[in-house]
């Protein structure tokens, strides 16, 4: 028997009191994954398979691939936990299956969203794509693992979260760099559409409802326009509709959903798909058994995004153990194989990471300075998440939104990376949870005036926030596309430097014993032709007009 979302929304009060968290029947969860869950998990796990097989010695890759298969075995058969409190005959499917309408809107919006983001360079691509194209070039042109020789003769390794690139780079190995760029565009569109489908599958299959949900996801953002005006960073009289608004707080940024796709899909997509899984499949024992390997797969795409995802995975696991009155999720057979794979991935990702800048953001020079920093962070949190989060909770109080707000309030206390990447990337799962929460809150029944007023307030906040993504779309439409530099390596695109968040020293590192032999890649052009960023030049020329 299936309980569609629409049916749950119309349960009587007496029946609703029998429901568990989120409005679902307690202790009645599916033991298997549905096709959409499997597709999402395959999307996340494929780069991990490619990495283990392509970067490690065969004697290390084979047992690790076996561990991966063991950790992912619920993909192939249900994960049955031996709990006396579960009745398999009364299990419910994880979520209603998506309809053709859900699929059509997810594919259409996901593909259009990707094209506007600059993937494939059909339209203007933002400045980060200059280096991103170079990383793909090196993965296609060089032997795996990719290495470089620094001016002092030391061997360096391309050490970066490569999950986003690897499927396209593998295709490029056989079909060339142009095919790799096309494959990366398709991989990006597939991830965006998959995330949208995971979200839309929980909405009523009505055109209006589906379009509202998709629109909220695409246009979700904090109130950057308000922060920009309050801090004097811009004026209404001289407003630039192609401007990137999100650095108004200067020391930290919470990126809109569209900004994440347009600038950092390599960090965003895995976090989105993983959050889509957690928020859609409320009752799948098989998904809960795969949470450890899911975290490892996301870490290969973006370790900071994986850190932001861990609290949601822990919440999911704790809820499952409480409802089942069982501790089987803590058994080594659930997490042991994933832990072995995770240790190797972590050793690679943290290789020579001590050179990456890090600090606390609250001043220690005095109470006044510390209070000023905390006040600035409080303003940032309220405008970027707090106000819209409170409006969501007023309509639809759910744990995922509460947890997201707690995380987003704490993240600005720490800085990691040259541009405080920790705040920008670790916030991705929480911002996705807010976006999904806002889309579902707007679709709540509004038969009474109080609910309609709350929806109007949420709609106003979302409309103000939508200025940020609309400016990203405006820039993509107004500025010309620029061609991919098919010769520039990462070192050339970085103006001859060896950026510590991309390149690591390899000598004496334990992970070197597991890696295949590193064959240094020719550095290619190192002059202005490789170093100059076309996106920055185009933007500068426009500003000077």
> What average pLDDT does this structure show over 308-330?
89
**Per-residue confidence band for 235, with pLDDT thresholds at 50, 70 and 90:** low
From the number of C-beta atoms within 10 Å of its C-beta (0-12, 13-18, 19+), residue 224 rates as: buried
User: Angle, to 10 degrees, between the axis of helix 449-465 and the axis of helix 467-478?
Assistant: 40
Considering Cα of 257, then 263, then 468, then 107, what sign does the dihedral take?
Answer: negative
Instruction: Give which of 312, 319, 507, 519 is closest to 427, Cα–Cα.
Output: 312
pLDDT at 430: 97
Query: Considering the chain, what percentage of its residues have pLDDT values greater than 90?
Result: 59
Measured between alpha carbons, how far is 388 from 2 in angstroms, rounded to an integer?
33
Instruction: Quickly list H helices, 325-427.
Output: 332-349, 367-381, 387-395, 399-410, 421-426
Confidence of residue 169 (pLDDT cuts 50, 70, 90): very high
Higher pLDDT, 316 or 528: 316
In this prediction, residue 28 has a pLDDT band, given cuts at 50, 70 and 90, of: very low
Q: Per-residue pLDDT for 465 more than 70?
A: yes
Please check whether residue 419 is in contact with residue 128, taking contact to mean a CB–CB distance below 8 angstroms: no
Give pLDDT tens digits for 182-209.
Answer: 999 999 999 999 999 999 999 999 999 9
pLDDT at residue 99 above 70?
yes
Residue 449 CB partners (closer than 8 Å, separation 6+): none
Q: What is the pLDDT of residue 468?
A: 95
Q: Report the range of poorest mean pLDDT among 170-179, 190-199, 464-473, 514-523.
A: 514-523
- So what's the pLDDT on residue 42? 96
The two most distant CA atoms of the chain are separated, in Å, by: 74
What is the pLDDT at residue 82?
Answer: 54
**Lowest mean pLDDT, pick from 85-89, 151-155, 267-271, 410-414:** 85-89
Instruction: Tell which residue, 30, 62, 40, 63, has the closest CA to residue 294.
Output: 40
Average per-residue pLDDT for the chain = 86
Q: What is the pLDDT of residue 390?
A: 96
Segment 31-56, tens digit of pLDDT: 578 899 999 999 999 999 999 999 99
DSSP state string for 149-190: E-TTS-EEEE-S--TTTHHHHHHHHHH-HHHHHHHHHHHHHH
The predicted structure's pLDDT at residue 20: 39
Q: Is the pLDDT of residue 332 over 90?
A: no
Predicted local confidence at residue 388, as pLDDT: 97
* Residue showing tokens 């004697």: 59
């Amino acid at each position: 028997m299936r309980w569609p979302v629409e049916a749950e929304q119309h349960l009587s009060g007496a029946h609703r009191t029998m429901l568990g968290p989120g409005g679902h029947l307690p202790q009645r969860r599916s033991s298997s994954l549905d096709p959409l869950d499997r597709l999402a998990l395959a999307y996340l796990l494929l780069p991990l398979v490619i990495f283990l097989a392509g970067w490690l010695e065969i004697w290390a890759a084979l047992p690790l691939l076996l561990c991966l298969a063991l950790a992912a075995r619920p993909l192939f058969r249900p994960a049955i936990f031996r709990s006396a409190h579960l009745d398999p005959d009364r299990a419910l499917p994880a979520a209603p299956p998506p309809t053709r309408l859900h699929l059509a809107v997810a594919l259409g919006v996901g593909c259009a969203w990707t094209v506007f983001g600059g993937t494939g360079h059909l339209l203007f691509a933002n400045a980060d794509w200059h280096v991103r194209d170079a990383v793909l070039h090196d993965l296609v042109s060089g032997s795996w693992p990719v290495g470089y020789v620094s001016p002092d003769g030391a061997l360096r390794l391309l050490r970066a979260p490569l999950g986003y690139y690897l499927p396209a780079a593998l295709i490029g190995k056989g079909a060339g760099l142009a095919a790799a760029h096309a494959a990366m565009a398709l991989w990006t569109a597939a991830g965006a559409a998959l995330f949208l489908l995971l979200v839309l599958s929980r909405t009523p299959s009505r055109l209006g409802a589906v379009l509202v949900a998709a629109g909220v996801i695409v246009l979700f953002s904090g109130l950057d326009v308000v922060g920009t005006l309050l801090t004097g960073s811009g004026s209404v009289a001289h407003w630039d509709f192609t401007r990137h608004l999100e650095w108004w707080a200067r020391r930290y940024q919470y990126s809109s959903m569209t900004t994440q796709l347009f600038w950092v899909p390599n960090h965003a997509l895995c976090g989105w798909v993983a959050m889509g899984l957690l928020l859609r499949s409320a009752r799948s024992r098989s998904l809960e058994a795969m949470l450890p390997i899911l975290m490892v797969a996301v870490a290969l795409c973006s370790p900071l995004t994986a850190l932001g995802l861990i609290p949601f995975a822990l919440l999911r696991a704790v809820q499952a153990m409480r409802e089942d009155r069982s501790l089987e999720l803590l058994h080594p057979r659930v997490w042991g194989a994933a832990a072995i794979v995770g240790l190797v991935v972590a050793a690679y990702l943290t290789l020579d990471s001590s050179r990456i800048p890090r600090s606390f953001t609250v001043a220690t020079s005095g109470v006044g300075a510390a209070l000023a920093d905390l006040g600035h962070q409080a303003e940032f949190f309220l405008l970027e998440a707090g106000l819209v989060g409170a409006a969501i909770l007023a309509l639809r109080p759910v744990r995922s939104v509460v947890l997201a707000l707690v995380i987003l309030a704490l993240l600005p206390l720490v800085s990691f990376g040259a541009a405080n990447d920790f705040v920008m990337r670790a916030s991705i799962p929480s911002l996705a949870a807010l976006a999904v929460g806002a889309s579902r809150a707007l679709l709540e029944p509004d038969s009474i005036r109080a609910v309609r007023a709350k929806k109007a307030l949420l709609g106003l906040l979302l409309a103000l926030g939508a200025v940020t993504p609309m400016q990203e779309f405006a820039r993509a439409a107004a500025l010309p596309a620029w061609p991919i530099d098919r010769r520039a390596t990462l070192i050339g695109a970085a103006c001859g430097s060896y950026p510590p968040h991309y390149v690591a020293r390899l000598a004496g590192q334990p992970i070197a014993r597991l890696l295949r032999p590193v064959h240094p890649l020719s550095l290619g052009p190192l002059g202005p032709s490789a170093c100059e960023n076309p996106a920055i030049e185009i933007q500068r020329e426009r500003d000077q007009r």
